[in-house]
Structure 1
């Protein structure tokens, strides 16, 4: 019972100190400390969420369109349907698609030749790998390769070639059965569809055609590759072991981690650097809170002396200030988390409103100053697709990272309070009450 009462009065006093700024303007340490914590948390959640949106968007486009989760290079040019069925039977395998990559030159009716990577796939790709079509996002025409010499190309490539659905483009390559028999070929293809994946490299340099249509473009050095997509891409090591037991030691499956090691390594380093910056930011916030609480402890030395004189132990008084720091960290962190999540979810609406407000203000200023000077009016946009290859700001909230940011803020506040509360033991109650 005594222990319960002790905890209750410590919390009571800590709450009074925490809310003291509402009644005493000279004591606003807790308020400003909580505001500093909340602003830091808000900013970091918003920045991390937008960065995650860009990174995960790039990763998904790369894995779903180009590299796949696991690749198997085959020494044969013919598709092994038995192998496909055996790999499909593995629990974590979602889909498997055989393909051949060709490097060619492509030319429109009114354009010069441009480099293009042609991916040769089965005519029933939409059934073998439905996620591919979802990420390609065919905006004009359709992904239909059943007719001979038909092709689906990216939107940026189509624009540079001046080609649309139904138009004809020329594919040029060095083809032949052997090196000595290589000869230049130029084959006419009909554009059946145009896709816009949102990944500029693919939209500007990539096209899809069927195995039958690409036979005249091969040089004999190309190899058939099986692209495998997994239900859980993070279980790639287990799935590779299962695949290896089926295909034997001749062909070695390659994971998406190895195939895109440099790019994904750069993204990982970017994320680690951002987390280190988060830690440094809250380290600075913690130091500021410590200095603020140092001043707060000094201002409350009379209160400390009175509490000590009525029987409060140094540890109990110290716990009061630590509890105040805990309240600062929790309240500031919670407000920051709520505000950060709200801004992250509505970032595109906020940008649209900011653009509208800036545009309205500029037009108003232009009208006011129009009798004196001619100010041209331009539409203003914070985030415009004309400058960025995106229609909107991508946002991806990872709640474990939100909790990590909150933990950083909360820990910085509590550690700062614990450090500042250590000065409580330096005060001698008799001296303070005697002189003040």
Structure 2
């Protein structure tokens, strides 16, 4: 009687997988294969998710701070900013247009000094929450225009030892002429609020003040230095840039956010590709354990395979049995890895805090990582690609031992039994 059919193959696979005997397929090697694949898949999904979260959070903060497109006045001044802003607002796809002034300064308080960047915003942005801050730590944004005060990044406040209600002195790098010669211009301002933006380099340099106050301090008259443009869809910035440039004409210079952060964008993309390749190699090493497990099983079960062949099992059936065995181990590892990744990502803050407490290390130093919080963002396309790569590698790892099992000569095997 010939043996064959899907039912026969499924029965043999199930018997091998569920055997409690020492020579069953659920051996230490097979268990290690499952664990190795699970760790490889979990590591790849978690690392790519953390990198996606870092990239999304960083770009969200950068775009919220700088805008999607920047219109810069020649020589640092844009006299016709009202007309330019009105023209830009008429363009379809433009969500918001904000004139502002920006310049580097030095701030001092009780003998402490620190470099910073002053950005002057229209007063209504303070009242409508248009200033791109993550949260207000002390004071009130709305109070800045009313009291002629400033908004301070919390890292500057920490370094100077100030809080809302204190005064700091802002020193302009531009000199003013006096009867006694040239001197630096400095003015004391009350602190209306201390804020966190969420990007370390902004938190240690940001000073926001009402636009009219900034124009007065920097002696711009009725001018601004820049206009930032926010689009409905930031991904369309390359397509919108020619139209924006045409609207502005020769009145100013137009640049997209990508030109300011070109090196950063390239570095992040290169890093993501490199990490994907490295972690895929971990999965590749893991699937070789499946191949070694199957080779060992073929060697141990040579007599059983020969008996099945003499009873009518075809070479194709034997090959499919061993391919299915290997894929079952691979799929079990992949599913376990996806579960581990989900648990890790769902509890990433708690796990990070536990590791930091155990090792006494700061795993997410904002001065190095730019942003102040670790964030994981799962890209389902990448997660699916990870699973697909693991399945394909598991499949190819089973082919050689499966074909070796199918090509065993029953006569030669049983001769020595």
Q: TM-score, normalised by structure 2?
A: 0.85
* Counterpart in the other structure of 1:68: 67
Deviation (angstroms), 1:238: 1.7
Q: For 1:247 and 1:8, how far apart are their aligned partners in 2?
A: 73
* Counterpart in the other structure of 2:137: 139
1:139–1:10 Cα change, 3 Å: same
Deviation (angstroms), 1:91: 4.3
Deviation (angstroms), 1:197: 2.1
Q: For 1:176 and 1:352, how far apart are their aligned partners in 2?
A: 49
* Counterpart in the other structure of 2:295: 294
Conserved 8 A contact 2:94-2:229: yes
Q: For 2:150 and 2:185, how far apart are their aligned partners in 1?
A: 17
* Counterpart in the other structure of 1:115: 115
Conserved 8 A contact 2:41-2:338: yes
Pair 1:395-2:396 in alignment: no
1:169–1:351 Cα change, 3 Å: closer
* Counterpart in the other structure of 1:156: 155
Please list, as runs of the form range in 1=range in 2, the aligned pairs for 1:44-193 lying within 5 A after superposition: 44-65=44-65, 67-75=66-74, 77-78=78-79, 80-108=81-109, 110-126=110-126, 130=130, 132-133=131-132, 135-144=133-142, 145-147=144-146, 149-175=148-174, 183-193=183-193
Structure 1 residues without counterparts, runs of 5 or longer: 359-379
* Counterpart in the other structure of 1:362: none
Deviation (angstroms), 1:128: 7.5
Deviation (angstroms), 1:192: 0.9
1:146 match: secondary structure: helix
* Counterpart in the other structure of 1:423: 404
2:5 match: secondary structure: helix
* Counterpart in the other structure of 1:310: 311
Superposed CA offset, 1:265-310 (max 9, x none): 2222221111111121112112222222211222222232223223
1:124–1:320 Cα change, 3 Å: same
1:317–1:427 Cα change, 3 Å: same
1:321–1:219 Cα change, 3 Å: farther
Q: For 1:252 and 1:298, how far apart are their aligned partners in 2?
A: 73
Deviation (angstroms), 1:257: 2.0
Deviation (angstroms), 1:337: 0.3
* Counterpart in the other structure of 2:195: 195
* Counterpart in the other structure of 2:416: 435
Q: For 1:42 and 1:251, how far apart are their aligned partners in 2?
A: 50
Please, which moves more after superposition, 191-200 or 83-92? Answer: 83-92
Q: TM-score, normalised by structure 1?
A: 0.81
1:38–1:429 Cα change, 3 Å: same
Conserved 8 A contact 1:18-1:30: no
Pair 1:328-2:329 in alignment: yes
* Counterpart in the other structure of 1:208: 208
* Counterpart in the other structure of 1:283: 284
Superposed CA offset, 1:88-138 (max 9, x none): 344433322222210111111x133321111122111247773x43x3422
Structure 2 residues without counterparts, runs of 5 or longer: none
2:378 match: secondary structure: coil
Please, which moves more after superposition, 249-258 or 406-415? Answer: 249-258
Q: For 2:197 and 2:98, how far apart are their aligned partners in 1?
A: 19
* Counterpart in the other structure of 1:405: 386
1:428–1:50 Cα change, 3 Å: same
